[in-house]
Homo-oligomer: A and B are copies of this chain.
Amino acid sequence: MKEMVLKPIGIVRSEVSEPRRAGWEQVTSEIIVDESLTESLDGLEAFSHIIVVYWMHKVFYAGLPRGKIHPQGREDLPLVGIFATRTPYRPNPVGVTVVRLLKRKGNVLRVVGLDAIDGTPIIYIKPYIPRFDSPPHV
Contact = CB atoms under 8 A, between A and B. Distances in A.
Contact of A1 (B48, B81, B94, B121): B121
A132 B9 contact: no
A37 B92 CA distance: 13
Contacts of A100: 135
B67 A39 contact: yes
A80 interface: yes
B134 A134 contact: yes
Given A83-B40, A132-B86, A91 B7 contact: yes
A16 interface: no
Contacts of A47: 84
Contacts of A4: 5-8, 55, 121, 123
A138 B48 contact: yes
Given A9-B91, A42-B80, A85-B126, 12 more contacts: A1-B8, A1-B57, A2-B57, A39-B68, A39-B81, A40-B81, A41-B84, A46-B84, A47-B84, A53-B96, A86-B127, A133-B133
